Chain A
């Protein structure tokens, strides 16, 4: 758990970079710091491992005030992932990944076992990749290595500073999925910096939206999309925030609320979609292809119904707009 208690950072009298920030990252959850450039999100992240100083307030990490901890020991207990080039080109992949365990004095055997385990997590062959150097890997592989290096000494807390920012959209999407999969297994407490709204919605249990060092809103992604607290939040997520919100809902959700259409056995050549696919992708599929419906398949690959644009719209109306108008009335 990481608690920010009225944290402020100022340079001299005039400039306040971080202004009375107060929120908590619960055990095992991902909180994304989101905001435009210069809003202080990276500064805030770097205050946790004391790469930046705190002017006022305190950061409490798993019950201990960060000020009372030795910065070197503190940093070794926190996984740290940065955007790019964080790997050391003079070290092999194994040396890179095992750096913190090495600093902590782990035995050779423990390090080797841990390395195999971590490489298995990201689906790379430990023997093959261990001896290679970072420049011999693709950008996506390097970033995966960057992530497992942060996990190496099994730290309870991780700080991730736009870890997937330098990757192309297809690889980024894949690595985000992979990382969420890993997170389900390791359950770390994660503070994650991003400037990408879609990434924040996808990764976050909760989002902290910052502007000029102040928290604009601290909420779950769906709450933030449905009930933006002020003008800045609703503008930041944009007019298409209802569509963005669709990525938080799956075909299964829609099926539970309004049900699916009947399967017309006569139509054979239409596209199919998996029941756990999100509604944003479903909608774009419906818009892209000429047929006005797609067939939904379940885990057993059985056709269980069809879905149309009208149904997505209806669901949107019930689930998202319904909540929005309710909040405006309330």
Chain B
């Protein structure tokens, strides 16, 4: 235990700093992913043909191993002199988040009870009114489930981003591996796990806050 205390005494500020970097990278990627994914998911509910294509592409993206995707980013972003660092990592994380977000938004809205949709149309709601007042509120638990999956997944994948110099908690783990330093590996892994649990809990709270009792049940 004494060793751990000494380790943390020296490294705590660095761990905290890397945790914040990690959180910032993932949050920015998720915000952008939401801005793209949710409107796209909603739009796809009106276009079946495009929906099939887009969901397929998003599924394929998710099957690319993360280390390979980060690798592919390097030559592409070298063209604008951003080959390594924050930008390629950020773009890769945005791509990875698309599938859970688009798919859950699309399925959530598609699965709103057709009688409810029928009533909304029959009462004279315009398309945007129907979306905002009926379909999105009733699809919210499913949409939020997708967002939570994306966030937890990205916190894990962002660890790999350390290999392309994007910083974050991956730095502790990669350094630990190369120096054969278990303290670094374990502290890095635990920090990632705690970050994921905290993020998921916060999102769950937000989901409960914005979902009416009736739909949550």
**Interface SS of chain B:** helix
Contact with B along A90-112 (1 / 0, CB 8 A): 11000000011001000000000
Residue in B121, B137, B217 whose Cβ sees the most chain A Cβ within 10 Å: B121
B6 lies within 8 A of chain A by Cβ = no
Complex formed: what's the CA distance from A91 to B217 in Å?
A: 14
A49 partner, pick from B115, B122, B129, beta carbons under 8 A: B122
Chain B residues, Cβ within 8 Å of A159: 122
In the complex, the answer to whether B116 meets A85 with C-beta atoms within 8 Å is yes
In the complex, the answer to whether A85 meets B212 with C-beta atoms within 8 Å is no
In the complex, the answer to whether A75 meets B212 with C-beta atoms within 8 Å is no
B: number of interface residues (CB 8 Å): 22
A: number of interface residues (CB 8 Å): 29
In the complex, the answer to whether B122 meets A133 with C-beta atoms within 8 Å is no
In the complex, the answer to whether A103 meets B215 with C-beta atoms within 8 Å is no
Complex formed: what's the CA distance from A90 to B116 in Å?
A: 11
In the complex, the answer to whether A82 meets B115 with C-beta atoms within 8 Å is yes
A322 lies within 8 A of chain B by Cβ = no
A86 lies within 8 A of chain B by Cβ = yes
Task: Give the nearest-CB partner of A72 in chain B.
Answer: B124
In the complex, the answer to whether A103 meets B129 with C-beta atoms within 8 Å is yes
Complex formed: what's the CA distance from A270 to B204 in Å?
A: 66
Q: Can you identify 12 A-B contacts, CB atoms within 8 angstroms?
A: A49-B122, A72-B125, A74-B124, A85-B116, A87-B119, A88-B134, A89-B116, A89-B138, A90-B134, A100-B123, A100-B124, A133-B213
Known: A88-B120, A135-B214, A136-B214. 20 other contacts (CB 8 A): A46-B122, A71-B124, A72-B125, A72-B126, A74-B124, A75-B124, A80-B119, A82-B119, A82-B122, A83-B115, A85-B113, A88-B138, A89-B138, A90-B134, A90-B214, A90-B215, A100-B124, A103-B123, A103-B124, A133-B214
Q: Which B residues are closer than 8 A to A by beta carbons?
A: 113, 115-116, 118-126, 129, 133-134, 137-138, 212-215, 217
